């Protein structure tokens, strides 16, 4: 199964930073993650970037056992 890594607010919404989630595409992994983590996680996904093995990914990209799917919410901050 692919390895899911969650960062910042995605990690907070899911309650974990790492997990293994079934799926043969990025979209399938994320759909299964939504089922597991619920509405708060689902609400974040449209604003997140998703990377597979360090490369920006599209929902239709295939994933395999051992691949790392990373969910990165937007980062806010800076000088005010």
Q: Is residue 77 part of a domain?
A: no
Distance CA 24, CA 8 (A): 25
57: domain CATH number is: 3.10.20.30
Q: Is residue 20 part of a domain?
A: yes
Q: Is residue 37 part of a domain?
A: yes
How many structural domains comprise the chain? 1
Question: What pLDDT sits at residue 77?
Answer: 54
The 10s digit of each residue's pLDDT in 12-64 is 999 999 999 999 999 999 999 999 999 999 999 999 999 999 999 999 999 99
Domain holding 27, by residue range, is 6-72
Q: Phi and psi (nearest 5°) for 40?
A: -60, -40
Q: Is residue 1 part of a domain?
A: no
Q: Is residue 57 part of a domain?
A: yes
Residues 6+ apart with CB under 8 A from 26: 50, 52, 57, 58, 59, 60, 61, 63, 69
Predicted TM-score of the model (pTM): 0.92
The 10s digit of each residue's pLDDT in 50-77 is 999 999 999 999 999 999 999 999 876 5
């Amino acid at each position: 199964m692919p390895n899911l890594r969650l960062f910042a607010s995605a990690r907070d919404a899911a309650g974990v930073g790492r997990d293994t989630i079934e799926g043969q595409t990025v979209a399938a992994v994320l759909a299964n993650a939504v089922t597991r983590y619920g509405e708060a996680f689902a609400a974040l996904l449209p604003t997140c970037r998703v990377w597979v093995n360090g490369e920006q990914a599209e929902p239709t990209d295939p994933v395999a056992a051992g691949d790392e799917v990373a969910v990165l919410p937007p980062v806010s901050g800076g000088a005010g």
